[in-house]
């Protein structure tokens, strides 16, 4: 059994790394495009919102905007690719048997590697902009883990549904666009009346983006009142949401995946 799992792990690694190489093999700039796209969005939004509308309001606005955009870009691209992962591996699934979950895991590994490399660029930008590492910086990797769990859960849950309902990806694209503006990326949660914060935090990406900006850019975990209780509860909630979504998504996937070949 252990040998079988080791072979499956090796297959995930091989497929993931192969996808990572092939994704940029036919473009002139290669991997650089995965970094230029969010950077381009950042510069456009910073000119509009950071310079023209919020000039002088928050000296850390550009750093927060950059962090938020790179996190959201990873979520949008990885979840979209995860939903299409089974269809994307149809040429393999139809020929040889292997656990269908490997296709989803390989796709998630592909985009996770890109995200890690991109975050090195973000860290370098923050450092050059005068925002260095602080004692709360390691907490960011808690949100990276929570984000990965969310993406994997969504991928498991929707990849099997996408095989039957191909317009699902169009619906997901609309939700991604709406989610971008519903998440505190180009705007600050402090601009919103505190009475509505609980509603905003129903969106798990609000937790991840807001807390990532807090620990990476602001170097704090305390809220406006100086307390840390809300922050600690929020960490527990976001991790619980990720785990629950992953478990539910995998159970649905495991039940539906054996019939996946019928819809390819």
Backbone angles phi, psi at 66, to 5 degrees: -65, -45
* pLDDT in the model for residue 24: 63
Q: State what percent of residues in the chain have pLDDT above 90.
A: 36
Q: Kindly tell me if the per-residue pLDDT of 262 is higher than 80.
A: no
Does residue 51 carry a pLDDT above 70?
no
Other CB atoms within 10 A of residue 14 CB: 12
CB 162 within 8 A of CB 168: yes
pLDDT, position 181: 92
pTM of the prediction? 0.87
Is a pLDDT exceeding 90 seen at residue 217?
A: yes
**b/e 206-223 (16+ beta carbons within 10 angstroms → b):** bbbbbbbbbbbbeeebee
Contact 93, 260 (CB under 8 A): yes
Asked whether the predicted pLDDT for residue 53 surpasses 70, the reply is: no
Give the residue with greater pLDDT, 48 vs 133: 133
DSSP for 65-133, please give it. Answer: HHHHHHHHHHHHHHHHHHHTHHHHTHHHHTTS---THHHHHHHHHHHHHHHHHHHHHHHHHHHHTT---
pLDDT-derived band at 143, boundaries 50, 70, 90: very high
Whether residue 189 is predicted with pLDDT greater than 90 in this model: the reply is no
Q: Is 156 a residue whose pLDDT tops 60?
A: yes
The CA radius of gyration of the chain, in Å to the nearest whole number, is 19
In whole numbers, what is the pLDDT of the chain averaged over residues? 83
Token pair, residue 83, equals 């939903």
Please state the rounded mean pLDDT for residues 188-198.
83
Alpha-carbon distance of 176 to 173, in angstroms, equals 5
pLDDT at 2: 46
Higher-pLDDT residue of 12 and 238 is 238
Q: Would you give the DSSP letter of residue 221? A: -
pLDDT at 48 over 80: no
Mean local confidence (pLDDT), 103-120: 88
DSSP H helical segments within the chain, as ranges?
2-23, 32-45, 61-83, 85-88, 90-93, 101-128, 140-164, 168-182, 197-200, 204-213, 229-256
Q: What is the mean pLDDT of residues 131-141?
A: 90
**pLDDT tens string 13-43:** 666 666 666 666 665 556 676 777 788 888 8
Give the residue extent of every domain in the chain.
13-263
pLDDT in the model for residue 242? 92
User: What's the pLDDT band for 248 if we cut at 50, 70, 90?
Assistant: very high
């Amino acid at each position: 059994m252990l040998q079988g799992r080791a072979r499956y792990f090796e297959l995930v690694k091989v497929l993931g790394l192969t996808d990572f190489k092939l994704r940029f093999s036919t473009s002139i700039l290669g991997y650089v495009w995965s970094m230029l796209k969010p950077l381009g969005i950042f510069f456009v939004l910073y000119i509009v919102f950071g310079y023209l509308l919020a000039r002088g309001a928050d000296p850390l606005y550009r750093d927060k905007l950059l962090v938020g955009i790179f996190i959201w870009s990873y979520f949008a691209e990885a979840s979209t690719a995860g939903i299409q992962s089974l269809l994307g591996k149809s040429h393999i699934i139809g020929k040889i048997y292997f656990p269908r979950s490997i296709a989803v895991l390989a796709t998630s590994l592909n985009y996770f590697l890109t995200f890690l490399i991109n975050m090195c660029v973000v860290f370098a930008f923050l450092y050059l902009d005068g925002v260095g590492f602080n004692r709360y910086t390691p907490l960011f990797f808690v949100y990276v883990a929570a984000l990965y769990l969310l993406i994997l859960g969504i991928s498991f849950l929707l990849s099997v549904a996408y095989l039957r309902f191909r317009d699902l990806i169009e619906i997901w694209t609309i939700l991604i666009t709406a989610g971008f503006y519903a998440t505190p990326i180009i705007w600050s949660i402090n601009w919103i009346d505190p009475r509505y914060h609980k509603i905003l935090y129903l969106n798990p990406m609000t937790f991840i983006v807001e807390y990532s900006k807090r620990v990476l850019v602001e170097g704090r975990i305390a809220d406006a009142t100086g307390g840390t209780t809300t922050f600690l509860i929020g960490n527990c909630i976001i991790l619980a949401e990720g785990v629950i979504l992953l478990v539910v998504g995998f159970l649905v996937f495991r039940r539906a995946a054996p019939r996946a070949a019928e819809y390819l």
